[in-house]
């Protein structure tokens, strides 16, 4: 009789265990490990250490310097000669909304979906990959890196 009770308890425990196991399957970390604790870093990389973000000074500023600052370089309107000038915005206000590439005015202007003309106003347009890079940089928090 004691043995019977013990095995009943065993069956109950196994049933309980497998049920709670089912529930755990939903709880995967970003690398697919159940109950793991790997997280997505600020650069959208699973398990990253925030080191793979697009770099403003070596990847983004050179695009502006090559293709934009002939017009957006000095007084008045949007100045694209430095990070701080960019973040100051233009006559329409902020052109970068941190973490929101698609919603940022500068991305809309580069894709031709903002008001006014598509940028650059002469020598249009940037390569899709260049626009994508700027968008990714904004999505990653528009860091001054």
Tokens in use for 10? 């065993």
**At a CB cut-off of 8 Å and minimum separation 6, what does 87 contact?**
94, 96, 142
Cis peptide bond N-terminal to 114, omega within 30: no
* C-alpha span between 45 and 42 (Å, rounded): 7
Which residue of the chain is nearest ligand HEC when measured via CB? 90
Q: 52 and 43 in contact (C-beta within 8 Å)?
A: yes
67 binds ligand HEC (CB under 6 A): yes
Window 88 to 127, contacts with ligand HEC (CB under 6 A): 90-92, 95, 105-106, 109-110, 116-117, 119-122, 126
* In the complex, least distance from residue 30 CB atom to ligand HEC, rounded to whole angstroms: 33
* In the complex, least distance from residue 37 CB atom to ligand HEC, rounded to whole angstroms: 40
Cis peptide bond N-terminal to 125, omega within 30: yes
Q: Closest by alpha carbon to 109, among 121, 93, 100?
A: 121
* In the complex, least distance from residue 24 CB atom to ligand HEC, rounded to whole angstroms: 47
78 binds ligand HEC (CB under 6 A): yes
68 binds ligand HEC (CB under 6 A): yes
77-95 b/e (C-beta count within 10 Å ≥ 16 → b): ebbbebbebbeebbeeeeb
> Is the Cβ of residue 43 or residue 96 nearer to ligand HEC in the bound state?
96
> Is the Cβ of residue 65 or residue 143 nearer to ligand HEC in the bound state?
65
* In the complex, least distance from residue 88 CB atom to ligand HEC, rounded to whole angstroms: 10
Interface residues with ligand HEC (CB under 6 A) are: 67-68, 70-72, 78, 90-92, 95, 105-106, 109-110, 116-117, 119-122, 126
């Amino acid at each position: 009789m004691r043995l019977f009770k013990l095995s009943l308890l065993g069956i109950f425990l196994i049933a309980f265990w497998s049920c709670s196991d089912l529930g755990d399957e939903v709880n995967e970390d970003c690398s697919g490990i159940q109950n793991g604790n790997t997280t997505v870093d600020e650069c959208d990389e699973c398990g990253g250490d925030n080191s793979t973000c697009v770099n403003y000074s070596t990847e983004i500023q050179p695009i502006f310097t090559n293709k934009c600052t002939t017009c957006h370089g000095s007084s008045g309107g949007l100045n694209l000669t430095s990070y701080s000038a960019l973040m100051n915005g233009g006559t329409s206000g902020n052109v970068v909304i941190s973490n929101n590439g698609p919603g940022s005015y500068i991305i809309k202007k580069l894709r031709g979906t903002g008001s006014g003309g598509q940028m650059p106003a002469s020598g249009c347009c940037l390569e899709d990959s260049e626009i994508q890079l700027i968008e990714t940089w904004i999505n990653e928090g528009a860091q001054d890196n």
